[in-house]
A = this chain, B = another copy of it.
Amino acid sequence: MGVFDTDGTDASGHEQVVFCQDRQTGLKAIIGIYSTALGPALGGTRFYPYASEAAALADVLKLSRGMAYKNALAGLDLGGGKAVIWGDPARAKSEGLLRAYGRFVESLAGRYYTACDVGTYVPDMDVIARETRYVTGRSVEHGGAGDSSVLTAWGVFQGMRAAAEHAWGAPTLAGRTVGIAGLGKVGKYLAGHLVEDGATVVATDVNEAALAWARNTHPQIRLVADTHELITSDIDVYAPCALGGALDDDTVPILRAKVVAGGANNQLAHPGIEKSLAERGILYTPDYVVNAGGVIQVADEIEGFNFERAKLRATGIFETTSRILRLADDEGVSPAVAADRLAEQRMAEVGRLRSIYLG
């Protein structure tokens, strides 16, 4: 596969894709910048032992494009980018390699800001930051935003409220039953918001410690054995907060919820599954819209992190989700398609403004 969009399908219409190599430290990285129409491209660095260079390239092209849409609908003045470091982080990660990578991030002079992703952590960002200014996801002691699942969960809750208003007329989960699959960090915070809002929460997790947390902190949460039991329970809302691919050809036909809103990435197992949801009358809030609180939180570091400002922005996910659901109704398309349209519209409209000269 190549980088350029040669067949006009827009499959890889990326603005810039940067291969970076340092033979001494073994660094092999690819930085993908899908669009800078809204500002510098922000997205995390995934450190992963891909099977091939082509697999690494395919992943960074897909992920950076996704970040462009996510950042656009998060209302950020940030374009979409992502990076991959090709290698096994357990064996290859070193100060030298991370700093060599940092120098390449710096070489793009601010067109790309990095952050944590699979295989990279806050301490890694602090190392990378010794070579470049263009890093978020740093430790709190270095101006970092801290645990970004706090605002991820807050944003999911806002998106869910918007979906509730769209489905039932009032922006609240009070009196509704919400099923949370996955009581990791996002799921836990989300459960707290839902309990506080007056919802009945049903949850499942494979991790005994997470279940113990639920029993101790929120004894009113009803715990079920597994995801199958959860989605076939009498729930109004399904919140996938674990691995990707939660909505597939097996789960959608048996799902009893009327609304789906969760923190997991890539909830749709394959293209077309959003149609199956629509056919069953299930309101799906696009994952990348409702889980954008995390990127909103780390992006705030660029201005000097302020939790209340970031929370205000994440609260905006309520209004964004409402707009998407209305647009989907108006145009007779799925919310996923409506979200993409809104994102593209914002990139085009706001990006164009730079043609008004200001020096």
Contacts and interface: CB of A to CB of B under 8 A. Distances in A.
Please classify how large the interface on chain A is, using the bins under 10, 10 to 19, 20 to 34, 35 or more: 20 to 34
A15 to B, nearest CB: 6
Interface string A12-53: 011111111111000010000000000000000000000001
Interface of A: 2-6, 13-23, 28, 53-54, 86, 104, 107-109, 111
Given A17-B19, A109-B109, A28 B4 contact: yes
Nearest to A36: B107
A353 to B, nearest CB: 16
| Tally of this chain's copies | 2
A13 B23 contact: yes
Nearest to A18: B18
Nearest to A28: B4
Contacts of A2: 53-54
Contacts of A22: 15
Contact of A16 (B5, B54, B107, B109): B107
A183 B39 CA distance: 52
Contact of A21 (B4, B53, B109): B4
A32 B104 CA distance: 14
Nearest to A56: B4
A140 to B, nearest CB: 30
Contact of A23 (B5, B19, B104, B111): B5
